[in-house]
């Protein structure tokens, strides 16, 4: 038999053998999804998730201070008999469900709140003045615990191990980066991350393949001149004028240097200098943020921001220093780029759960997410779960003091988290059919 005929025969045999097994995998993936959703919708499971979410909502904790939230997570995992690692990155917890053997797949929930005062008047309003779960991370924790319960009770269906990643400090603290540094993703094949979305109706999800959320960075610059009497400018070096020109020049970076089809932002949001009507100050401090959808564009912006500030300042005889670490936040968060291979998996699992009409493709969003630190290491997929509160008019956005979520979405999120992970393990098993491969290699 000629070489090509042999290859053809092998391919034909492979396809005969693989077709039924991949059909099995998609039908059992569909079955798993429906079993999981029914489980998540049980009244006792729903009430339990709502209770957890409300308890966390009443006691919001900021990044790296999520001690009570983390304690609650561990107490629930203990009750379910799920082993976990703690502490990771101060308050982080990673639970393990399934065989304990590879392959490993991860689902992530962030646990931190924001420093802002809740303005929603309801029974479970934040009890901590100046702190609020205004980004729905309380719901993320409740849904991941819901997924944990579903997966643990159906662990015989898992073809490997699911990691339940409860991370601290998403809101600018780079908690995901610290989790990665602690080795959480070792040997993990893929990671999924859910975020609530108040503009999307409950019962819908949205995401996209490729660049989804922007990378973000912060900068602060001090522009030094020489103070003096405002009526005698010739004896001073005016940092206010220099800073004003710096800001105008910074606005040319996106409009004149970036590809118009490659979305970017530079915003100066802070300007501090001077305190009197008749005194030229010694210095001015400005600060802001920059965003881009690729690492190259992001690094280019960073370099040009520094050059423009320092060089433009010298035009007015000032000197300037630029600091990218001064904001007290994680200085750089990479763009959130969804893996193309996982996009198909997400769409098919989500369509099984919600119906394909309710799985929406979204335009990229200029906000950022530290989930991107995981995606820098392994294939990852980030998506939005509809949590629109249909009882009010225009829903308040995330980070608004009026932010609310529709708790009816909790079972959907729990079932989706659990189905994405269990379905992915099934898909991996189908892909690697070691016994049939061995058989064919012997031909």
Residues that bind Ni ion (CB under 5 A): 135
Whether 135 contacts 194, CB under 8 Å = no
Which residue in 421, 422, 339 sits closest to 375, CA to CA?
339
SS3 label, residue 99: coil
Nearer to Ni ion, 135 or 320 (CB): 135
Closer of 132 and 135 to Ni ion (Cβ): 135
> With respect to Ni ion, which residue has the nearer C-beta, 135 or 141?
135
Given a contact cutoff of 8 angstroms between Cβ atoms, the answer to whether 365 and 206 are in contact is no
Q: How far is the CB of 197 from Ni ion (least distance, A)?
A: 10
**Cα gap 191→169, rounded to integer Å:** 18
**Shortest gap between Cβ of 170 and Ni ion (angstroms)?**
6
Is the distance from CB of 134 to CB of 416 less than 8 angstroms? no
To the nearest whole angstrom, how small is the minimum distance from the Cβ of residue 416 to Ni ion?
Answer: 17
Least Å distance between CB 140 and Ni ion?
Answer: 8
Shortest distance, CB of residue 440 to Ni ion, whole angstroms? 47
For the four alpha carbons of 397, 402, 408 and 411, in that order, the dihedral sign comes to positive
Pick between residue 135 and residue 425 the one whose CB is nearest to Ni ion.
135
Question: Whole-number minimum distance, CB 174 to Ni ion, in Å?
Answer: 14
Which tokens belong to 391? Answer: 């009882």
Residues 6+ apart with CB under 8 A from 168: 63, 64, 66, 70, 89, 90, 91, 92, 110, 111, 112, 175, 178
Residues sharing a CB contact under 8 Å with residue 108, sequence separation 6 or more, in sequence order: 144, 165, 166, 167, 176, 191, 192, 193, 371, 374
- Residue among 183, 283, 185, 179 at smallest CA distance from 238: 283
Give the residue with the Cβ less far from Ni ion, 329 or 345. Answer: 329
The helices-and-strands tally (H runs, E runs) of the chain is 11, 17
Which residue's beta carbon is nearest to the bound Ni ion?
Answer: 135
CB of 348 to Ni ion, least distance (A): 26
Nearer to Ni ion, 135 or 194 (CB): 135
Nearer to Ni ion, 135 or 143 (CB): 135
CA distance 110 to 113: 9
The partner residues of 322 in beta bridges, in order of sequence, read 221
Shortest reach from residue 225's CB to Ni ion, in Å: 40
Between CA 200 and CA 359 the distance in angstroms is: 11
Residue closer to Ni ion (CB basis): 162 or 213: 213
- For 144, the token pair is 């991941």
Please tell me whether the peptide bond between 103 and the residue prior to it is cis, using omega within 30 degrees of 0.
yes
Report the residue number, 56 or 135, with the smaller CB distance to Ni ion.
Answer: 135
Measuring CA to CA, how many Å separate 142 from each of 54, 97, 288? Answer: 9, 17, 34
Q: How far is the CB of 180 from Ni ion (least distance, A)?
A: 18
Q: Encoding tokens for residue 61? A: 């904790």
CB of 337 to Ni ion, least distance (A): 18
Closer residue to Ni ion, CB minimum distance, 97 or 398: 398
């Amino acid at each position: 038999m000629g070489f090509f005929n042999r290859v053809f025969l092998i391919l034909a045999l492979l396809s005969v053998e693989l077709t039924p097994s991949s059909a099995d995998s998609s039908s059992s993936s569909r079955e798993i999804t429906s079993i999981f959703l029914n489980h998540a919708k049980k009244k006792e499971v729903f009430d339990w998730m709502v209770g957890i979410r409300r308890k966390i909502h009443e006691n919001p904790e900021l990044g790296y201070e999520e001690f009570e939230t983390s304690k609650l997570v561990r107490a629930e995992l203990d009750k379910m008999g799920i082993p976990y690692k703690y502490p990771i990155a101060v308050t982080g917890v990673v639970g393990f469900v399934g065989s304990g053997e590879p392959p490993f797949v991860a689902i992530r929930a962030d646990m931190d709140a924001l420093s802002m005062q809740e303005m929603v008047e309801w029974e479970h309003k934040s009890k901590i003045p100046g702190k609020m779960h205004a980004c729905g991370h309380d719901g993320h924790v409740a849904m991941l615990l819901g997924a944990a319960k579903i997966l643990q009770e159906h662990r015989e269906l898992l073809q490997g191990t699911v990691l339940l990643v409860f991370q601290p400090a998403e809101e600018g603290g780079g908690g995901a980066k610290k989790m990665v540094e602690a080795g959480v993703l070792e040997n993990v094949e893929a990671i999924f991350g859910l975020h609530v979305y108040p503009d999307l109706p409950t019962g819908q999800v949205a995401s996209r393949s490729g660049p989804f959320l922007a990378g973000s960075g912060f900068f602060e610059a001090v522009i030094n001149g020489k103070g003096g009497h405002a009526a005698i400018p010739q004896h001073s070096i005016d940092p206010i004028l220099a800073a004003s020109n710096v800001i105008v020049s910074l606005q040319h970076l996106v409009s004149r240097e970036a590809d118009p089809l490659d979305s970017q932002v530079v915003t100066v949001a802070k300007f501090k200098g001077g305190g009197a009507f008749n005194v030229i100050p010694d210095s001015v401090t400005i600060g802001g943020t920059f965003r881009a959808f690729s690492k190259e564009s992001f690094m280019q912006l960073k370099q040009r921001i520094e050059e423009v500030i320092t060089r433009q300042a010298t035009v007015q005889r000032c000197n300037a220093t630029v600091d990218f670490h001064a904001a007290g936040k994680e200085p750089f968060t990479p763009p959130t780029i969804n893996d193309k291979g996982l996009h198909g998996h997400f769409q098919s699992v989500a369509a099984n759960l919600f119906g394909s009409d309710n799985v929406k493709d979204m335009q990229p969003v200029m906000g950022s997410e530290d989930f991107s630190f995981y995606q820098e290491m392994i294939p990852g997929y980030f998506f939005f779960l509809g949590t629109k509160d249909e009882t009010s008019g225009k829903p308040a956005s995330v980070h608004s003091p009026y932010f609310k979520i529709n708790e009816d979405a909790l079972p959907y999120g729990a079932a989706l988290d659990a189905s994405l992970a269990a379905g992915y393990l099934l898909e991996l098993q189908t892909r690697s059919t070691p016994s049939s491969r061995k058989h064919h290699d012997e031909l």
